[in-house]
Amino acid sequence: MNIEQDRGLNVLLAQGNTRSQRDEVTPYATKDGSEIRELMHPTVHGNRQQSLAEATVPTGARTLLHRHTVTEELYHITQGEGRMTLGAEQFAVRVGDTILIPPGTPHCIEATGAEPLRLLCCCAPAYAHDDTELL
């Protein structure tokens, strides 16, 4: 590691936590009705440009249709099966699928399998309740 890299790492460490542990993160309910664990968020960890969360949708449940004016989202399915609504499109999703949700696009997701649906959600800029509009 050179001196510039070392300075950068020290600045990061001074600004916040550069690591989080899923099981130590307290989940909460978002406006869309899903249970979220903020794995990395600027208000807690010191990162600046994005957030990463794990969302859980119970079997048979669906998040509320919503959109984000500013935020681009990526969903990556890690458990279960579901049905994604993205604008006028609807399609099945399963473990390993990654979905791009452009800003302003109405979307929701339903857990259709025998187990809860889990997904990683990356938001840029970072997730904010104020940027979530229920439809």
Question: Residue 90 and residue 69: Cα distance in Å, rounded?
Answer: 21
pLDDT for 82-107, tens place per residue?
Answer: 999 999 999 999 999 999 999 999 99
Mention every residue, 6+ apart, whose C-beta is less than 8 A from residue 9.
1
33 has pLDDT over 60: yes
Mean pLDDT of 108-115: 97
Q: Is the pLDDT of residue 3 over 50?
A: no
Give me the CATH number covering residue 53: 2.60.120.10
The pTM of this model reads 0.83
Q: Domain of 112?
A: 3-134
Query: How many domains does the structure of the chain reveal?
Result: 1
Strand order from edge to edge, sheet including 89-94: 89-94, 81-86, 107-111, 66-68, 132-134
Residue closest to 27 by CA, chosen among 43, 42, 41, 39 = 39
